[in-house]
Amino acid sequence: MLLCKDRIGGLLLLIFSITYGLLSQKIHLLPFQANSAFHARTMPEVLSVLAIGLSVLVILFPGSDERPRFAGLNWGLGAAFLVLMSTYGFLVRPMGFLLATSLFLMVGFALLGERKLWRLVAVAVPTVFAFWALMTYGLDVFIEPLPKFMRG
Amino acid sequence: MLDGILIGLGTALTPMNLIFVMIGCFVGTFIGMLPGLGPMSAIALMIPIAATLEPSAGIILMAAVYYGAIFGGSTSSILINAPGVASTVATSFDGFPMAKQGKAGKALAIAAYSSFSGGVIAAIFLLVAAPFLASVSLAFQSTDYFALMVLGLTAVAAFASKGDVLKALLMTVIGLMLSTVGTDQTQGVPRFTLGILDLTDGISFLLLVMATFALSEALIAILKPNDDAKRQQEKEASSQLGSMAVSKEEVKEMVPVIGRSSVLGFLIGVLPGAGATIASFLAYGTEQRMAGPKKGKLFGKGSVRGLSAPETANNAAATGSFVPLLTLGIPGSGTTAIMLGALIGYGIQPGPRLYIDQPEVFWSVIVSMWIGNIILLVLNLPLIPYIAKVLAIPSRFLLPFILFFSLIGVYFVSFNTFDIQLMVLFGAVALLLRFLDFPMAPMILGFILGGMMEENLRRALLINNDSWSFLWERPLTLSILVIAGLCLVVPMLSPLFAKMRKAKQSETPTGD
């Protein structure tokens, strides 16, 4: 099978390994370092050669001929969750932990099929408050709870 | 040794540490029971909490989570035929048929007693083997350590499943590559930081583990459409367990199986790269062969021996995998690789010096294994009917929580939102690679060992005046490297030999 799982993965990792190998040449070395038997570039250079070789071997000799099956999986939902997590990362500071996390969880529940608003709120909000209280008062880990405009 | 045990008892039996063992066992069972989430995810999720504790308490907590997660994985294997981890797949072969016969309670009890016995017996072996190996490995130099790390990495490939050797090796190298990101420790040169200041300190180990296990596992569950029929089955299974009593005849049948599987499991667990999965399958196969044709036929249909063997072996292997971690500083499995990362996070370098420099950590881990196993049996077994209710929590609520705990676990360590973005990126890549059947554990192993390997190699070169001759001049280093070479070559050649044997057999006339 030309485009089996192993070959696709091998190809992706080959691209990564070549990029890594090229970037390894940009590691800055001082003149006295360049002459030593082992310097900051040695390991990356060896690893990139190894990885390129192994990727090529995976492409040439795939372990199985199984083709990837994209059908029947909720790819859109997976992508939506990736966006949701990334957005959470951007908003957790300006929005504060309580609001950002409650929203993250509520949107997450809704994306996975929960339609009742009261349930979204009833599960997310008390848990987030309890978690924040446990971290702040129980484990002494301070997390900014409030949005930026409400902070003193 | 007696002094050590007393030190361990003194540390592990403090009220706070006992509470941590209980919490760890309980949380581990809870997480391990969730299909898809195994010990690695469970430990990864606990690292941010363990990081706030003192080293002994943190390690005790993680060890307890480890046992709890294995026990929890067995529970979901038995009740709903959904092994939380690969090491409990063999448990489902006979555990689930027993549950279908209305003997779920009995199956859980057999699993619990077997796990307990396997864990306790293996902990006794560990007690003897670890100090001995630690004292021997005191003679090791950095050249030997470098060779040992190469062995640890190549052994991963040796135990990879058929056809996956190349992929396991490639992922190991990818892990090594990721470990080079950040400032070079000796020369202070930035490597692969792409001008991003947040990468100067390198990629966080916790971030990588969380992204590749907890996050990607939750994402895989999100990708799969809901199966209402299965959920109904899960609910039914978790509500009707039946009696947990085990008869005298069943105990008689279990005892020799437990003895054999404990030894087998421990020995396999000690080998770097092998682990609970191989141990459980091997123990199952061994018992099936030993059972003879009559009793062997019962395997797969609810056999007591078939359930007891893998359960004993996987717990014994889990204990065995601590031997190379505690004595050589080399993780024997993906899970112990995560624990190694956590230990390094505490500023503790596992290895022969651990036994001498921080005996309280060394011994408390060993003693806590016994305590953990007792707590699992005494506390968790009666609670199973209640803990099993977790299987009835709708995934639409559970999955966002898993994602949240993964993200916030990493954020709480660094308080850097860049880490969340990097985690999402790694999570997406891990999801893709797992979808393409590329293993993640070798990558974590490579990532953990990468820094140490480079450091030891550099030190070895420095000691040997920049000469690479230590690779062949020092007998111990050479021997370890030869074994590593064999680990690498044999699995690659074995399919070739198998093909040749097949070809030979087909050429041989059948005689009719």
Of A55, A63, A109, the CB nearest to B396: A109
The 3-state DSSP class for residue B191 equals strand
- Does B503 reside within a domain? no
- Does A130 reside within a domain? yes
**Cβ–Cβ gap B177/A27 under 8 Å:** no
- Does B510 reside within a domain? no
How many domains are there within chain A?
A: 2
Pair A84, A40 in one domain: no
Pair A53, A15 in one domain: yes
- Does A70 reside within a domain? no
- Does A138 reside within a domain? yes
- Does A116 reside within a domain? yes
Of B397, B421, B457, the CB nearest to A38: B457
- Does B486 reside within a domain? yes
**Cβ–Cβ gap A74/B424 under 8 Å:** no
CA distance A6 to chain B (A): 7
Q: pLDDT digit of tens for each residue in chain B (512 aa)?
A: 677 778 777 777 888 888 888 888 888 888 877 765 677 778 877 887 887 788 888 888 888 888 888 888 888 778 776 666 667 778 888 888 888 787 888 888 898 889 889 988 988 888 788 777 777 777 778 888 888 888 878 877 666 666 688 898 999 999 999 999 999 877 788 999 998 989 998 998 878 888 887 788 888 888 887 655 555 555 555 556 677 778 888 888 889 999 999 998 888 888 766 567 778 888 888 888 788 777 777 888 888 999 999 999 988 888 888 888 888 777 767 778 788 888 887 777 777 777 777 777 777 777 877 788 888 888 767 777 776 676 677 888 888 988 888 888 788 778 889 999 999 999 999 999 988 989 887 888 888 788 888 888 888 888 888 888 888 888 888 998 998 888 788 777 776 777 777 777 777 655 44
**Cβ–Cβ gap B225/A73 under 8 Å:** yes
| Interacting residues of B357 by C-beta distance below 8 A, sequence separation 6+ | none
- Residue of chain A whose alpha carbon sits nearest to that of B224: A73
Mutation target to probe the B interface, by most B beta carbons within 10 A, among A15, A16, A43 is A43
Pair A83, A141 in one domain: yes
The 3-state DSSP class for residue B453 equals helix
How many domains are there within chain B?
A: 1
Greatest alpha-carbon pair distance for chain A in Å reads: 68
The answer to whether residue B427 neighbours chain A at the CB level (below 8 Å) is yes
Confidence tier at A117 by pLDDT (50, 70, 90): very high
Closest listed residue to residue B314, CA positions, set B286, B358, B280:
B280
Q: Where are the alpha helices (DSSP H) in B416-474?
A: 417-435, 441-463, 470-473
Of A28, A60, A92, the one marking the end of a domain is A60
- Does B499 reside within a domain? no
- Does B501 reside within a domain? no
Higher pLDDT pick, B357 / A52: A52
**Cβ–Cβ gap B167/A114 under 8 Å:** no
Q: Which residues constitute the domain of residue A54?
A: 5-60
Which ipTM did the prediction report? Answer: 0.93
- Does A65 reside within a domain? no
Of B223, B399, B436, the CB nearest to A9: B436
Pair A88, A144 in one domain: yes
The answer to whether residue B437 neighbours chain A at the CB level (below 8 Å) is yes
Pair A56, A84 in one domain: no
- Does B512 reside within a domain? no
- Does B66 reside within a domain? yes
- Does B17 reside within a domain? yes
CA distance A145 to chain B (A): 13
Cα first-last separation, chain A: 63
The answer to whether residue B139 neighbours chain A at the CB level (below 8 Å) is no
Considering the entire predicted model, what is its pTM?
0.77
